[in-house]
Chains A and B, each alone.
Chain A
Amino acid sequence: MSSSTIKSGGVRKRPTGVGAPSGWYMAPALGIFALFALVPLVVALWLSFTTWDAISSPVFVGGANWATVLADRGTWHALGLTLEVVALSWLVQTPISLLLGVFVAGTQKYRALLAAIYFLPLILSSAAIGLAFKAILDPNFGLGASVGVSWLKQNWLGSPSLILPVVVFIIAWQFVPLHTLLYQGGVRQIPASLYEAAQIDGASRVQQFFSITLPQLRYTLITSSTLMITGSLTYFDVVFVLTGGVPSSAINILPIDMYVTGFSAAQFGTASVLAIILAVIGLAISLVLTKFSGFNRMSSQQEGA
């Protein structure tokens, strides 16, 4: 990460020694975070070189787990699926969130009520959402079966070809609200004068959207995408609940694969290899995106400049 400069409103005098709070103010947060988020990664790395069944103590086996995991077709399948879920989620959620965000940012009275409803899924837990959709989609006792619409009575959660779109949809249902919020905030930051100028030029709504709204939202887009992509790497809860904890190979995404390898098959060493892979992908993606997003710039963003 590049070192960065502070600009805040005006020119800041370098704080004198008396004034600047010491680094100790940061120590507790840094300590807890390091101990429970960073140290575990180191422990995972160590465990990945051991064989451990959670009953006996870990035994060092060198790179055997790594060899096993990297040679296993299942790993690559899980990796491919994970990236598929990431890509599909992004493709589905971004346009919906963007358009909804623009729509909700308007000022008609009823939109406030709409917004309140739109954001409801934000507060439901993944476990609740998973259970509810499981009940709805049950082909024998769910909604489709009782309404008698045969198209609805599909093997939503069992068929290898259907489960992926279903999971992507449910995840979108859960997370579109958050990203709608981000875009709504972004739209509200766009100076109205830009639109007025465009109207004088006779630009249509659609033209205005593409020539003003979209370019103005570029930072929001990057922020939202970062959150979406790093988040979608780890859609564990929903998938776990939906598939009853015994996931089929059709939705065996990396975190699920890791959980099953560890907690069902008791091969915690092998599972730790998968954990490290997951962490590396997450960090890599976010570093790349940070490069673009300027998330690390310590200055306050000035939009529309």
Chain B
Amino acid sequence: MTTVAIVGALSGCSAGGSSAGGSTATLWALTGDQTGVVEPAVTAWNKANPKEQINAQYFANDAYKTKIRTSVGAGSAPTIIYSWAGGTLDSYVKAGKVADLTSETASIKSKYNSSVFDLGVVDGKTYAVPMDPSYPVLLYFNKSVLAKAGVSAPTTWDELLAAIPKLKSAGVLPFALAGGSKWPELMWEEYLVDRVAGPDAIKAIAAGKKNAWSDPGIIKANTMLQQLVSAGAFGSDYNSVVADSNADAALLYTGKAAMLLQGAWAYSTFQTSAADFTKSSLGYSNFPSVSGGKGDPANIVGNVSGYFSVSANASAAQKKTAIAYLTQGTFNDAYTKRLLDGGQVPPIKGVSSQISGGSDSFVGKTASLIDSAPNFQMSWDQALPSAEATALLTNLDQLFTKSITPTQFSDAMNKTIGQ
């Protein structure tokens, strides 16, 4: 039978994911980081190290989370694994899927802000090293839209609430929100809980304290969140907007929306998609303060950094290449300069002195936000184990659509602690 022959031939050409030849290391990263961070660094590295090549592939954020888990589990992980540290890294370490890099990275440890480097440390051993800029979540606004509506950028919660009806009557959406992707909703939750309940609330949750979600501050913050939705802050269509396609950023720069709460990575989207808008009418600030809240108004939330680990399944030659890249190919002078030029803040010591244009530029302002923040909270969906993170996004979605009350939200989330 000829078909049998074909099948035989086919199974011959099914190569596993990471079985690239010799010392070439494979690397997976996010499309969001592709342009400004990883791709230029990998290109420069490959030019300088013809014997230790890196083969990089990029995935959209939402798809990546699933992809990397399945491939790590299937033993076909890339040599260099991108993660956000937190709960995911813990599970990799527990399963012995990532290599211990403690001795190899000892020499570069002092380069980083210690709080950033320590996120890659599990049980006293280093398994992941920082590779991304710090991305705090900022409130972006379209100055010309605000001006037309006669509204100034809100610095307190009350001002924010007061701006909503004015913007609505001016015929614009007060806040763009990519509810279709769910995680942008989490940014509102993170900031409100920080401002109202203080950073200790989420720390208790991450530590697995029983009934930590029932903190009265969290319930109050969620009540405020529902009031915000009811006031029409996000319009009625926010659940159809998806962040992976940057539709929320598009709403802001096309003038359909006045403000947007998004990570600092959105800045490069603005620069590439709407250069004129970025120059003339883009504004940004920290999240407004909430009077009477426990959290310091200077606190920030977001991605402290992204991390690279080395797969335990990789060959010795591939590991060698990967470690060389992680220690020499990331955050060297050129790498740092490239990030700064692209408006991003590297999580390394003494970076403020290298910023040209001082605190007026986007990067200068972001750097000073990071420097002056008493607490920089890692995004919850990355800090928590994935089962809890998934439940969080599901319940948050229901909180936004008001299918559940803040109390029901807390009850549902308490069940996920220590699962």
Measured CB to CB, the residues of A under 8 A from B are: 53-56, 74, 137-141, 153-160, 243-246, 248-250, 260-261, 263-267
How long is the Cα–Cα vector from A261 to B389 in the complex, in angstroms? 11
With A158-B239, A243-B180, A244-B180 as known contacts, state yes or no: A249 contacts B97, CB within 8 Å.
no
B240 touches A55 (CB 8 A): no
A141 touches B247 (CB 8 A): yes
Chain A contacts for B73, CB-based, 8 A: 53-55
Chain B contacts for A158, CB-based, 8 A: 179-180, 237-241
Q: Is B114 located at the chain interface by the 8 A CB criterion?
A: no
Given A155-B236, A159-B236, A260-B394, 6 further pairs, Cβ under 8 A: A54-B73, A140-B251, A263-B66, A266-B69, A266-B387, A267-B387
Chain A contacts for B52, CB-based, 8 A: none
Q: Is B70 located at the chain interface by the 8 A CB criterion?
A: yes
A249 touches B394 (CB 8 A): yes
How long is the Cα–Cα vector from A56 to B94 in the complex, in angstroms? 8
With A54-B70, A160-B401 as known contacts, state yes or no: A248 contacts B239, CB within 8 Å.
yes
Q: Is B298 located at the chain interface by the 8 A CB criterion?
A: no
Chain B contacts for A154, CB-based, 8 A: 237
Measured CB to CB, the residues of B under 8 A from A are: 62-63, 65-66, 69-70, 72-74, 91-92, 94-95, 97, 179-182, 236-242, 244, 247, 250-251, 256, 386-387, 389-391, 393-394, 397-398, 401, 403
A263 touches B237 (CB 8 A): no
Interface of B is mostly: helix
A248 touches B63 (CB 8 A): no
With A55-B72, A264-B65, A266-B386 as known contacts, state yes or no: A155 contacts B397, CB within 8 Å.
no
How long is the Cα–Cα vector from A160 to B397 in the complex, in angstroms? 11
How long is the Cα–Cα vector from A266 to B391 in the complex, in angstroms? 11
How long is the Cα–Cα vector from A233 to B87 in the complex, in angstroms? 34
Chain A contacts for B70, CB-based, 8 A: 54, 263
Residue of A nearest to B182 (CB): A246
B398 touches A54 (CB 8 A): no
B386 touches A246 (CB 8 A): no
B390 touches A54 (CB 8 A): no
Q: How far is the CB of A48 from chain B (nearest CB, A)?
A: 16
B237 touches A55 (CB 8 A): no
B386 touches A137 (CB 8 A): no
How long is the Cα–Cα vector from A266 to B92 in the complex, in angstroms? 12
List 9 A–B pairs whose Cβ atoms lie within 8 Å, in order of A's numbering.
A55-B92, A139-B240, A140-B250, A140-B256, A160-B401, A244-B62, A245-B63, A250-B401, A260-B394
Q: How far is the CB of A59 from chain B (nearest CB, A)?
A: 11
Q: Which of A53, A55, A244 contacts B181 (CB 8 A)?
A: A244
B62 touches A246 (CB 8 A): yes
Chain A contacts for B236, CB-based, 8 A: 155, 159
Q: How far is the CB of B218 from chain A (nearest CB, A)?
A: 20
How long is the Cα–Cα vector from A56 to B312 in the complex, in angstroms? 13
With A55-B95, A243-B180, A264-B386 as known contacts, state yes or no: A156 contacts B69, CB within 8 Å.
no
B180 touches A249 (CB 8 A): no
Residue of A nearest to B3 (CB): A28
Residue of B nearest to A261 (CB): B390
How long is the Cα–Cα vector from A55 to B63 in the complex, in angstroms? 17
How long is the Cα–Cα vector from A277 to B95 in the complex, in angstroms? 29
Q: How far is the CB of B18 from chain A (nearest CB, A)?
A: 15
Q: How far is the CB of B230 from chain A (nearest CB, A)?
A: 15
How long is the Cα–Cα vector from A10 to B391 in the complex, in angstroms? 63
Q: Which of B237, B387, B393 contacts A139 (CB 8 A)?
A: B237
How long is the Cα–Cα vector from A55 to B73 in the complex, in angstroms? 4
Chain B contacts for A138, CB-based, 8 A: 240, 247
With A53-B73, A55-B73, A264-B65 as known contacts, state yes or no: A246 contacts B180, CB within 8 Å.
yes
B387 touches A137 (CB 8 A): no
Q: How far is the CB of A21 from chain B (nearest CB, A)?
A: 16
Residue of B nearest to A74 (CB): B394
Chain B contacts for A156, CB-based, 8 A: 240
Chain A contacts for B389, CB-based, 8 A: 265
Chain A contacts for B391, CB-based, 8 A: 265
Residue of B nearest to A245 (CB): B62
Chain B contacts for A55, CB-based, 8 A: 69, 72-73, 91-92, 94-95, 97
Chain B contacts for A157, CB-based, 8 A: 180, 239-240
Chain B contacts for A74, CB-based, 8 A: 394
How long is the Cα–Cα vector from A55 to B69 in the complex, in angstroms? 7
How long is the Cα–Cα vector from A267 to B394 in the complex, in angstroms? 15
B237 touches A140 (CB 8 A): yes
Residue of B nearest to A267 (CB): B387
Chain B contacts for A267, CB-based, 8 A: 387
B240 touches A155 (CB 8 A): yes
Q: Which of A141, A153, A261 has the most CB of B within 10 A?
A: A141
How long is the Cα–Cα vector from A199 to B398 in the complex, in angstroms? 59
How long is the Cα–Cα vector from A156 to B401 in the complex, in angstroms? 14
Chain B contacts for A260, CB-based, 8 A: 390, 394
How long is the Cα–Cα vector from A263 to B74 in the complex, in angstroms? 13
Residue of A nearest to B183 (CB): A246
Q: How far is the CB of B13 from chain A (nearest CB, A)?
A: 20
Q: How far is the CB of A272 from chain B (nearest CB, A)?
A: 15
Q: Which of A139, A140, A245, A265 contacts B390 (CB 8 A)?
A: A265
Chain A contacts for B62, CB-based, 8 A: 244-246
Chain A contacts for B181, CB-based, 8 A: 244, 246
A264 touches B66 (CB 8 A): yes
